[in-house]
Structure 1
Amino acid sequence: MEHATRRSAIQVMLSEHSRLTSIVSGMLRVVDDMACSASSPSAMLMRAMLYYIQEFPDQIHHPKEEQYLFGGLRERTDECNGVIGELERQHEEGGQRICALERALTRYELAGADMLPALREEVMNYADFYARHRHLEESVILPAAQRYLTAADWLEIDEAFGANRDPLESLESESNLDDLYALIVQTMPNTQPRA
């Protein structure tokens, strides 16, 4: 029973990481698309992506990681305290980076193509930041959690990550986020991101 529950909770976390990775990859493609076509709906799509990050990872996923996963590890071992502290700092920094991205996008919308290099740099910086963050969680924290957390811990984590979520204070908000994610993925340009 412990193994099945652990796999379920971890699969949810990895799936959520994968979703955010696809959004971040999409942001890179969108900013490249902006350079090619000023008439595309790219700015609106970028805003939808930023909204998704603020509403899902920042308001739901990260707080649950901190409370259940990081908190559980802190109760069981001090081996990961430094990494957990770094990840919590990164969660806070991620929100600040999203605000910086919104400001860069607004400047682009108001001033035009001259502001595109700054926007692209912010997107690239965020993509690098998130890739490092995800790697640290998946290569250090999840393996440590598998070693140190108990079956009871995993049941609680599984319940937390599998529970109905209500970030927009409506009964349909989780469905709305899924719809927003699907819309973003369907609307993203098919071009490959530039290196």
Structure 2
Amino acid sequence: MYRHLLVPVESTDACIEALGHATEFAQAIGARITYLHVLPASASRVTSGQPAALARPVPRRVHELLARAEAAARAQGVPCSSAVAFAVAGSVEEGSFETIAKAARQHDCDLICMATGAPGAQALAFGTPDAAGLPVLMCAVDRRPAVEAAIGFLLGAHRALADELHEWLDLFQAAGSQGSVPGATTLREIAAWLRGRQARRLRPEAEASLFSRLRERTSVVSAELDELERLHRRDEELLDELAQMAGQNTQSGTTAKQLERALSAYAQFAWEWMGREQGVILPAARRYLNDADWMGIHLEFDCAATLGRAAKHTDTISEPDGSRA
């Protein structure tokens, strides 16, 4: 039986679904996982006689992808680690299949699990010189329309929150690179964004609809649902605390630095519950919920998304940019 799986990590819906399949499979057979994100060749710096190195630090979004994957594995008791590799410049699909196969051998993996249609998937599945003798498990995608639509809403809500957090953290990073901190206007906008976050979120409907329907169908993930509901309550508390911090003293450089650290910590917390929802709850929902359940969830998510868009239109926050004082 397989002992060590290599699972490429990307941001697509299909890849997120494949991560869930791979984590469940690893748990069932007692295997461990190495998650791999392949960076484009342009991100590497090659020194004569030395392996390729990053030309700049690993992007925060890559850390997010890997953190979410690891959170799902931890929730299911699956040992895991993460790695970053560089694609081979100028080859098919930017060398993804070569890079993945090489990483699998480097980490002593005996099975590659990846989404159908992922970069390098076809080449690996049909065999390449680098992958010769290394089995590849292609994870199918659930194409039921109601399932795709409902899960698309939920993943869209996850991405919206992640994008907003990255924008604010990038702004802090840009200011820090110039030896300064964001000004009072930016801090007030962050405080307003945090206060308005509750009205724009989809999560209460996810708890009331997806979670409750899943509880009715199975007790397999009851403990995980309990934990996620606790994390969601804590999430609301953290957003309130961050809003208060941002609005305390917008003229203070100390406040800005404290807020940056707190926002960064909150982002890590958000990656945790997102990963658990994506890698534990959604696979269980696909297995246990029927078509009528998914139709109901889709309708409720659709209504929630409409309300969220309306709330966003009334929000007076301007988009983050480099022109703030």
Q: Same fold (TM over 0.5)?
A: yes
Conservation of the 8 A alpha-carbon contact between 2:191 and 2:244? no
Is residue 55 of structure 1 aligned with residue 190 of structure 2? no
Alpha-carbon distance between aligned partners in 2 of 1:50 and 1:143, rounded to the nearest angstrom: 30
Report how far residue 39 of structure 1 moved.
Answer: 4.2
Moved more, 2-11 or 82-91: 2-11
1:177 corresponding residue in structure 2: 312
Higher strand share: 2
Which letter maps to 1:150?
N
Is residue 113 of structure 1 aligned with residue 253 of structure 2? yes
Report how far residue 70 of structure 1 moved.
Answer: 0.6
**Pair 1:31–1:55, CA change in 2 (3 A):** farther
2:210 corresponding residue in structure 1: 69
Conservation of the 8 A alpha-carbon contact between 1:9 and 1:161? yes
Is residue 161 of structure 1 aligned with residue 296 of structure 2? no
Higher helix share: 1
2:224 corresponding residue in structure 1: 83
Which letter maps to 2:199?
E
Conservation of the 8 A alpha-carbon contact between 1:6 and 1:154? yes
Determine which of 263, 279, 287 is the counterpart of 1:123: 263
**Pair 1:116–1:20, CA change in 2 (3 A):** same
Determine which of 137, 146, 151 is the counterpart of 1:5: 146
Kindly report structure 1 stretches of 4+ aligned residues shifted beyond 2 Å. 29-41, 114-117, 164-167, 173-176, 178-181
**Pair 1:17–1:143, CA change in 2 (3 A):** same
Identity %: 24
Is residue 149 of structure 1 aligned with residue 284 of structure 2? no
Report how far residue 127 of structure 1 moved.
Answer: 0.4
Which letter maps to 1:163?
C
Report how far residue 177 of structure 1 moved.
Answer: 1.1
Alpha-carbon distance between aligned partners in 1 of 2:238 and 2:145, rounded to the nearest angstrom: 36
Q: Larger C-alpha radius of gyration, 1 or 2? A: 2
Superposed CA deviations along residues 13-67 of structure 1, whole A, max 9, x for unmatched, are 111111111011122123335653554731133123213422122xxx1211111
Q: Secondary structure at the match of 2:211?
A: helix
Q: Secondary structure at the match of 2:250?
A: helix
Which letter maps to 1:117?
K
RCO greater where, 1 or 2, for CA within 8 Å and sep 6 or more? Answer: 1
State the TM-score, normalizing by the size of structure 2. Answer: 0.50
Question: RMSD of the alignment, in Å?
Answer: 2.6
Conservation of the 8 A alpha-carbon contact between 1:104 and 1:122? no
Superposed CA deviations along residues 55-108 of structure 1, whole A, max 9, x for unmatched, are 122xxx121111111101101111111111111011110111011111221234
Conservation of the 8 A alpha-carbon contact between 1:108 and 1:114? no
Which letter maps to 1:157?
I
Unaligned runs of 5+ residues in structure 2 are 1-142
Alpha-carbon distance between aligned partners in 1 of 2:314 and 2:172, rounded to the nearest angstrom: 22
Conservation of the 8 A alpha-carbon contact between 1:30 and 1:46? no
1:100 corresponding residue in structure 2: 241
